[in-house]
Amino acid sequence: MAPVTSAGVYEAPDELAGIASGVTNTMHQIGGPIGLSLIVATTTNFQIQVWMMIAFTVISMLIVAVFVNNKK
């Protein structure tokens, strides 16, 4: 999670770094349980759950890559 946290506060001005860090950590805490509950709720088979987790991870990584590349 360290690269995601770094990306979340990288562009923040110094006076907003604490707020950016807090928002990033809050999203970590909220996003994990919500994502896991969505995966479990939408699937009943273990194999499907694993593939769904892989898909969500890949989609999340692509979204982060797009936003990080657009900032520069």
Q: Compute the C-alpha angle 31/36/37, nearest 5°.
A: 100
**Residue 8 and residue 24 in contact, taking contact as beta carbons nearer than 8 Å:** yes
Using pLDDT thresholds of 50, 70 and 90, give the confidence band for residue 48: confident
Q: What percent of the chain has pLDDT over 70?
A: 85
pTM for the model stands at: 0.50
Domain ranges of the chain: 2-71
pLDDT at residue 57 tops 80: yes
> How many CB atoms within 10 Å of residue 54?
10
